[in-house]
Amino acid sequence: MECSKHRSGFSLLELLVAVAVILIVSAIAIPNLVRSKMSANEASAVGSLRAINAGCANYSFTWGKSFPVSLSTLGPGKPATANKADLIDGLLAGGSKSGYILVYVSGKPAGGKIATYTVNANPLINQKTGARYFFTDQTGVIRYDLAAVATASSKPIS
């Protein structure tokens, strides 16, 4: 009776080569994945600022009090009232979304009306959740800065 010594499985060398290939592919893919996530967060921040601008304009038209006092004023409410206008979702009204912190500052009331506001969208962790800082105000122009909190004098997005 002949006995064959057939071994199954991988040799140590084959396993080392497979691990090396996986590490090389990971080294290439992971930075691209992080950049893609940051890009998606930035696009979400710009979309959020557009939604807030639209909500502020709608609030002004609907409630006749010019602009709202806070983001939470634009937030969900059933039925919609001047204090809970139901114009933006709860995440935006809460002040953060997709790795960005949203900071809304209303202007000082004059004659019972608020004529101005500013909104900043700042990355929660710079260079991890986003690389750009964003700004908008009652003009509706969205601006950005790469190094610091964006302002009315920052470059507009194109």
Q: pLDDT tens per residue, the chain (158 residues)?
A: 555 566 677 888 889 999 999 988 888 878 888 889 999 999 999 999 999 999 999 999 998 879 999 999 999 999 999 999 999 999 999 999 999 999 999 999 999 899 999 999 999 999 999 999 999 999 999 999 999 999 999 999 98
Please answer whether residues 75 and 90 qualify as being in contact, where contact means their C-beta atoms are separated by less than 8 angstroms: yes
CA separation (Å) from 13 to 17, 20, 21, 27, 49?
6, 11, 12, 21, 54
- State both tokens at 99: 């790795």
Rg (CA), the chain: 25
pTM: 0.83
For the chain, domain boundaries: 12-156
25 CB-contact burial (10 Å; exposed 0-12 / middle 13-18 / buried 19+): exposed
